[in-house]
Structure formats: C-alpha cells, structure tokens
Amino acid sequence: MKIDFHTHTCYSDGKETPENLVKYAEKRGIFLAITDHDNSNGIKHVLGKVIPGQEVTTQYGHVVIICNFIPHPPKDIHELIDYSKENSCIVFPSHPFDIFRKGIGNHLFDYKFDAIEIFNSKAPKNANNKAEEVSKKLNLPGLSNSDGHVKEAIGSAYNEFDINELKIDDIFDLLIGKKFKPIKVGLTKTAKLKIIEWHIQRKLFEKNTCRTMYQMQG
C-alpha cells in the first residue's frame, strides 16, 4: 500500500475538493492523509477513505498530526505533542529545514516527535537532505510526502507499506516500527506547472476556493 501522509485540499490552500483529490489518488493506488492547515473541515467528506490529520501552524512553524479520528489539536507545540500522545496519533515536523515555508528548524531537537518528514516534494534538496541526516541521527522514521496542493502532485512522494487495508492503527504501528519504505519520486513537469498556475490563481481570486470548486463539480 502506498501512503502519502501530507496533502492539502480547498479547505485550506489546496485546489481540489477532498473528494476529487481522493478520487485522483485512488486511481493511482495511493492512500492519503488529508492535512489541511489548522482545520479538519474537509475530512468529513472522505471519512473512512483517508487518514485524518492537520498541518498545524505552531509558534515555531509547521507540524503535521495524523490520527485515527478527526483531530482538533491545539496550536501550541507542547500541547500539540501532548494531545498526540494522549490520543495515539502520530506527530512529525513537515519540511523542517525549509525555513522559507515555516519549517521548525532546530526546534525539532527540543521535542519528542514520532517521525520526521525527510522528503517533501516542494522543499529544496538541501532542506530534504538535512532532514534525512537528522532522522538518522535521532533514529526516527523518515517519511516521504507530496505536500500536494494540486492533484497532479500526488504520486511525487509516498511511503510503501506491506499492508492491504486502510487500518490506521496498524499503519501507525508499522510507521513507528520503521516497517515501510519512503519513496522519493519528485514532481513531474506537469505538476510543477500546475503548482505555479495554482499559485497565480490563488493570488488573483483567493478566498472561497471550496465553494468555487464544488460549483464547478456541479
């Protein structure tokens, strides 16, 4: 099973509705965690088909939490990690050394994370390399995720698990036991273009993306 633990929908700054993003991923045999910025509003539309999560903007930067239920986590990094432990979730810093996109940087050494994102399709190579080095040093599982904001980014990074069903607790056990393989593919030319296109569209139109996308879907 291929799993991408970090994706965005129109419920934050992504382009697609959760339904569309999941449909696209399903066709490619990839399961998703939906991890919109600071809200879980999109997950109800695809509950049972995804791993629920959030990318939380903490005081030091971006941290992803994924759970076996729809989470409503606190934003303070200490409280977030406590919340994760209390609820058997998984918490990891996303693109930690991508300082231009709110990576938490060296703060990651101060907290007990379950894993580290070692490959983020949108992060620069040196930032990913540093994250991988640190994951080895700290002996933490290293995840490879798309951080997809457009559907074409799905498939650019994922993690291969030897499991056939979306049993979230089992997946979390395998994750913590490092019984998976992070696969780094990289963005296709089309995906790169779609990301730029989406960036410009968002600048021009902004707001209410979900309403527009659902209208287009009919």
CA proximity to 96, closest of 133, 138, 128: 128
- Per CB under 5 A, does 117 bind Zn ion? no
- Contact code string over 48-67 relative to Zn ion, x by CB under 5 A: -------x------x-----
Q: Does 147 bind Zn ion (CB under 5 A)?
A: yes
Q: Which is nearer to Zn ion, 55 or 132 (CB)?
A: 55
Angle ∠(143,158,140) on CA atoms, nearest 5:
10
CA-closest candidate to residue 5, choices 176, 214, 193, 134: 176
Nearer to Zn ion, 58 or 94 (CB): 94
d(CA 190, CA 11): 23
**Residues 63/53, Cβ–Cβ less than 8 Å:** no
Q: Minimum Å distance from CB 15 to Zn ion?
A: 13
Q: In the set 40, 94, 128, 146, which binds Zn ion (CB under 5 A)?
A: 94
Tokens of 192: 């790169």
Query: Other C-beta atoms within 10 Å of 139: how many?
Result: 7
Asked if 16 is part of the footprint of Zn ion (rule: CB under 5 A), the reply reads: no
What is the nearest approach in angstroms of Zn ion to the Cβ of residue 2?
A: 18
CA distances in angstroms from 178 to 66, 116, 202, listed in the order given:
16, 12, 37
Alpha helices in the chain (DSSP H): 18-27, 77-86, 125-137, 168-176, 189-205, 209-217
In the bound complex, what is the minimum distance in angstroms from residue 85's beta carbon to Zn ion? Answer: 22
DSSP 89-114: -EEEESSTT-GGGT--GGGGGGS--S
> How many residues in the shown chain lie near Zn ion by CB under 5 A?
4
Q: Which is nearer to Zn ion, 179 or 186 (CB)?
A: 186
**Shortest distance, CB of residue 94 to Zn ion, whole angstroms?**
5
Instruction: Give the binding range for Zn ion (CB under 5 A) out of 40-48, 92-100, 179-187, 209-217.
Output: 92-100
Nearer to Zn ion, 59 or 173 (CB): 59
Piece of the chain touching Zn ion by CB under 5 A; list 20-28, 144-152, 155-163, 207-215:
144-152
The smaller minimum CB distance to Zn ion, of residues 64 and 140, is found at 64
Question: Three-class SS of residue 6?
Answer: strand
* Pairwise CA distance, residues 187 & 103, whole Å: 20
Residues that bind Zn ion (CB under 5 A): 55, 62, 94, 147
